[in-house]
Every structure is written in structure tokens, then in C-alpha cells.
Amino acid sequence: MWKFARFVSACQLSRSRRFSTVIPGPCIVHKRGADILHDPWFNKDTGFPLTERDRLGLRGLLPPRVISFEQQYDRFMDSYRSLEKNTHGQSDKVVSLAKWRILNRLHDRNETLYYRVLIDNIKEFAPIIYTPTVGLVCQNYSGLFRRPRGMYFSAKDKGEMMSMIYNWPAKEVDMIVLTDGSRILGLGDLGVQGIGIPIGKLDVYVAAAGINPQRILPVMLDVGTNNQTLLGDRLYLGLRQPRLEGEEYLSIVDEFMEAVHARWPKAIVQFEDFQMKWAFETLKRYNKRFCMFNDDIQGTAGVALAGLLGTVRSQGRPLSDFVNQKIVVAGAGSAGLGVLKMAINAVAKISGCSETAAKSQFFLIDKNGLVTTERNNLDPAAAPFAQNPRDIDGLTEGASIVEVVKKVKPHVLLGLSGVGGIFNEEVLKAMRESVSTKPAIFAMSNPTMNAECTAIDAFNHAGEHIVFASGSPFENVDFGNGNVGHVNQANNMYLFPGIGLGTLLSGAHLITDGMLQAAAECLASYMSEEDILKGILYPSVDSIRDVTAEVGAAVLRAAVEEDLAEGQGDVGPRELAHMSKEETVEYVRRNMWFPVYSPLVHEK
Ligand SMILES: NC(=O)c1ccc[n+]([C@@H]2O[C@H](COP(=O)([O-])OP(=O)(O)OC[C@H]3O[C@@H](n4cnc5c(N)ncnc54)[C@H](O)[C@@H]3O)[C@@H](O)[C@H]2O)c1
Ligand SMILES: O=C(O)C[C@H](O)C(=O)O
Ligand SMILES: [Mg+2]
């Protein structure tokens, strides 16, 4: 048996099969006794072997029987299944929150077991720890709050952040997800309650990219809230003041970024769910100075572009035909504009034409209808994508979605508006006139109730031959005739973990457009022709570790090509540059943390 065993390094472990064949390296712990039991990073509950109980002063603090990791795992899954049974018939909200609570309790108690059940059951648990349930959790956060997770920097901490950052107990941090809570999914300003989003995103980082959970940090920048309901709620846990604006706001974000950089110069900061004006402004302000990216603008753009290229292949057409695809985007916010920028750039590259010429196939709609150059007070961010009404026969400024769809007959109708149901029956029926043999409908807004349409409505009204994708998961649709409509999940979760991991392993100190484009191209080429022709544009969430390894390798190789890779640990830029594509994927895979109990070694 021993000869099949492999050693893996300390707390940084590589992937193994279920519960056998790995002898994990030791993990250093600076505490003893009950303090270990109360620390979810090290706690093994009843899983501490007797010798370890002796060494760490745990004897007598636990019931005598030692329960194996596998038995603990099964026990948790049994309780989860009984909870499902016991809540059967109750409202979706009650059931989802009960499921989140049982997972959250485990997260707070024993991270190794938590991440193991999460990784092994990612498809089932992603909708609980991520969209859609994470939205519900944020809406109810002040009431659900039991224990803090991550760090909270508020407007009241001005001048203190440089020292506060040292309050975080881990020596090293690789990945930070930061929000100011101002645009949580499609739910608007949720103030401090938005902390659920960085927590959920980082759970996906651990599950998909194998970032070590001891090296992640969810952060809330609480600069107040303009949500009147929260301000009036006596249990609200954030600052009870209106949001800071202008220079006052930016000075808080600046101070935070400087503090992070001072303590962990190589940590990657993912900006998440900032309202549009600050999403664009902070990206421009920091992306040449710090290792950061904005997931809603850049991660979403890559995932959407991969899907758009997939829709071309799903029609049996060559990718070069992307330049002829007519695409209507509903939503001119950080996500919609990010998608347009990247897609237009791709058209220009494929066709060799200018970006101005490339944009003629794209139609942008916001809450006031079709965006044209005739718009009063045209938002400068949307201006590059505004159509000139003279070029679009029969459509005028402010035309409604249904008018645009009827006139343009687009290949793709894509929603990033945050408004549920705007692809109504009339709009979806209008998509039947699409010039495409496989019209595509992307209802990408989150959470589920904010999706522009449901999967059932899309297939019912637009036809069984469409390609459908949504930001939050929907069940596949059974047509009752032996055929099934496939539901894709077009969510930035397919890219951000690989962007983070690839950047980390490359040792690059910036995230460039080239690295992001490599991520998108990798995802676009991930699916087989056979799947794509069936309308399957994205992999199943079950294979997210595999996708992430490929995306991470693509990002790493792009950093090498751009001469930005400084390497990490023993693997320097020269070693990275000499790795083949396959070796890079293997290198990324080997560096994914995988949860097993490591022997704990006490050090003062
Ligand atoms: N699937 C994903 O991976 C993904 C990624 C990022 C964002 N999103 C979702 O996209 C949505 C928007 O995010 P954002 O950051 O761009 O928000 P945002 O607030 O910056 O922008 C929303 C945009 O939608 C427009 N809009 C509002 N009502 C509309 C209507 N009736 N018709 C057409 N447009 C309308 C607004 O004018 C605005 O331009 C959110 O629900 C978010 O959850 C999904
Ligand atoms: O959080 C998600 O599920 C995707 C995206 O980042 C969003 O803001 O909706
Ligand atoms: Mg987001």
C-alpha cells in the first residue's frame, strides 16, 4: 500500500483522488488545545488522531472515538439530505436559506471538510454559496450574521488602514475580493451586507482554482449606503450614513489599495459589484499600478465573448462569420459595456477592420431604450457604442427592445440589465424572426429573479431550436417530445478563478488585456464541435477545476509572452518560459490546493 502513497507539501496540497493514496505534508500551527478546535483552518473535529490529540493538548477535549474524514464527510452529507427531506414543500427561500445555513456552519467550524464537500458537489452547492442564494443571503445578512468573515474597512477607518491590514491573522494573502456593496448582483445597493459576494466568489476560487483558503481575504469597503430601507433598519450592521462621493470616496479606496500593497505586494485584488461609475473609474485608476481586475467588466466580457463565438459555431459557421452576427445587448452598465468593448475588439481583429466599422452590427439598449448618438446627455461610457440613427433604417433613438428585435432580427439577444422579465413574450416571439438558424438568448442578469427571462419562457416563445444561456442556473427544459432544451450557465465563474490563479503562478504584477483575452479564447475553444452543435456552449459546473486549469495556463502563458512573468517560489520566469502548453496546464493543476487533513505540528 505504501508504495502508492505520495507526499504532498504542507498546507499547499495538490489534487488527489477521494480519501486515499495521499500522505499530506505537515502543517505548522501556532496554537494549542481548545484554540485549535475553535480555528476552522486547523480544526478536524472528531478527526484528530489520538497521537495528535496528545501532541496538541487536545486529550479530553473531544469524545474518545476518532472519526475518519470519510465518515465525517458522509455524516455531513447525510444531514444535508435529511434537511432536504425535512424542508420538502416549504418555500424556495426557506429551503435555500436552510441549506446555506448548514453549509455556513460547517464553513465556520471546519474549513477542510467544508471545502471538500464543496469541491466534490460543486454543481449542487454552487447555487447555495454563489448565485442565486448568495443574493438572498446578502439581502438578509444583518439578521443572519453570527460570526465575521473577512475584513471590514469603513469610512470611519480613514488614516488607520495601513495598520488595520496587519490585524488579518494570515501571514500571506494571494487573493482578495473587494466590494463596496453598491451594486450587488441585480439587487442594487446593499451596503455592508454585500460582504456575502466576496465570500461567495472566494469560495469559488478555492473550489475551482484551488487557491489555499488560508490565503484568501474577502473585503468590504463600507462607505455608507443610499438604501433607505437599510438605513432605517435598526439591525443594519453597516455605517448609517449616505455613501461617500467624489474625492472622499476615492481617498478611501486609495488608502485600502496602498495598505494591501504594502503588506502583500503580490496579492491580486478582484473588484466586484461596484456601481458602474466606480467600477470604470477604479479600473482605470489602478490597473497600471496594482495587480487587479474588475470581474463584472472584464471577467463577464470574456465569458460572454466565449459564448458569442460559440453561437457562431453552433450555427455550423466558421468563426470568421462572427463579423456578420447581429447582436443586441440590453444593459449599458459595467457588464454590458465590458462585453461590447471586448466583442467589438474581436470583430475588428477577425475582420481586420477598424473598431468603428466593427460596431455597426451591435445594438445597445438601456433603461431609456436604444442608445443612439441623438441621446440627450449621452453617457460618455456608452457613447462609443451608440448607433447613428441615419445608419439604422427605421429605428430611432429610444426604440424599445421589441422594436429593435423586430427590425434587426438579431442572431443574439443578450441581457445584462439587472431587470427580471424584460425579455417578455412579445420580445421572445420576435426572436422567431431572427436571421440565425439558431437564434441565441442570453439572460445573464443575476440572481434568478432578475434574469431577463426564464429558460422555459425562452424555449416556449422563441422556439425549441434556440441556444439559451443564463447567469444563474435553470434546469434544462423537457419539451415532452423526447427532446430537451439545454440550459447553459453564462457566468463569470468560468473565468475569474483561472484569471486569478494564472496571474498568481505567473508572478506578474499586472493583469493585462492580453492575459484576459487569452482567458476568453481558452474558454471559447474548450467545448467540442459536437457539444457546440447541440447548443452546449459552456462546460458543466462539475468540470470547473478542469476548465480553470486550462484558463489559468492560458493566462500564465500570456503573461510569459508579454514578459511580465516573474515566477513564483522555485519556479522562475525561465522555467515558465520553457514549459510546453501541456506542461503549463499540468503545472497549474499541481498547484491547486486540495483539502485533506494534514498532520498539525505545533510551533511557538
Ligand atoms: N452572468 C454574469 O456573469 C454577470 C456578470 C456581471 C453582471 N451580471 C449581471 O448583470 C446585471 C447588470 O450588471 P451591471 O454591473 O452592468 O449593472 P449596472 O447597474 O452598471 O447596469 C445596468 C444597466 O441596465 C440598464 N437597464 C435598466 N433597465 C433596463 C431595461 N428595462 N431595459 C434595458 N436596459 C435596462 C441600465 O440603464 C444600465 O445601463 C446584474 O444583474 C448583474 O448581476 C451578470
Ligand atoms: O456574481 C455572479 O454570479 C456574477 C456576476 O459577478 C454578477 O455580478 O452578477
Ligand atoms: Mg459581480
Q: Are 492 and 200 in contact (CB under 8 A)?
A: no
254 belongs to an annotated ligand binding site: no
Active site includes 286? Answer: no
pLDDT > 70 in the chain, percent:
96
Active-site option among 80, 115, 130, 152: 130
CA of 334 to the centre of ligand 3 (A): 10
Looking from the CA of residue 416, the nearest atom of ligand 1 is: 10
CA of 65 to the centre of ligand 2 (A): 43
CA distance 591 to 604: 28
Active site includes 205? Answer: no
**335 CB near ligand 1 (under 6 Å):** yes
Pick the CATH number of 299-491 from 3.40.50.360, 3.40.50.720, 3.40.50.2300, 3.90.1200.10: 3.40.50.720
Write out the three cell numbers for 482: 423526447
**pLDDT given at position 566:** 98
Could you tell me the residue ranges of all domains in the chain?
129-290, 299-491, 495-590
Tell me the per-residue pLDDT of 460-505, one tens digit each, with 9 for 90 and over: 999 999 999 999 999 999 999 999 999 999 999 999 999 999 999 9
**12 CB near ligand 2 (under 6 Å):** no
CA of 104 to the centre of ligand 3 (A): 21
CA of 182 to the centre of ligand 1 (A): 13
Tell me the per-residue pLDDT of 190-248, one tens digit each, with 9 for 90 and over: 999 999 999 999 999 999 999 999 999 999 999 999 999 999 999 999 999 999 999 99
Q: Establish whether domains 129-290 and 299-491 are of one fold.
A: yes
**276 CB near ligand 1 (under 6 Å):** yes
Q: Are 163 and 233 in contact (CB under 8 A)?
A: no
Measured between alpha carbons, how far is residue 40 from residues 75, 109, 148 in Å?
18, 5, 13
**403 CB near ligand 2 (under 6 Å):** no
Any residues with CB less than 8 A from the CB of 108 and at least 6 apart, and which? 40, 146, 147, 149
Instruction: Report the complex ipTM.
Output: 0.99
The residue type of 121 is N
E-strand stretches of 175-240:
175-179, 216-222
**pLDDT given at position 14:** 41
Tell me the per-residue pLDDT of 55-113, one tens digit each, with 9 for 90 and over: 999 999 999 999 999 999 999 999 999 999 999 999 999 999 999 999 999 999 999 99
Phi-psi region of 181 (alpha: psi -120 to 50; beta: other; left: phi over 0): left
User: Which uninterrupted H or E stretch holds 467?
Assistant: strand 467-470
**pLDDT given at position 21:** 56
296 belongs to an annotated ligand binding site: yes
446 belongs to an annotated ligand binding site: yes
172 belongs to an annotated ligand binding site: no
The residue type of 360 is S
**185 CB near ligand 1 (under 6 Å):** yes
Q: Are 150 and 199 in contact (CB under 8 A)?
A: yes
Cβ neighbours of 462 (radius 10 Å): 25
**296 CB near ligand 2 (under 6 Å):** yes
Residue 275's nearest CA partner among 213, 200, 184 is 184
Active-site option among 99, 201, 341, 359: 201
Strand, coil or helix: 221: strand
User: Which uninterrupted H or E stretch holds 282?
Assistant: helix 276-286
CA distance 29 to 368: 57
**pLDDT given at position 513:** 97
Q: Are 291 and 266 in contact (CB under 8 A)?
A: yes
Looking from the CA of residue 273, the nearest atom of ligand 2 is: 8
Q: Are 186 and 420 in contact (CB under 8 A)?
A: yes
CATH T-level fold of 129-290: Rossmann fold (3.40.50)
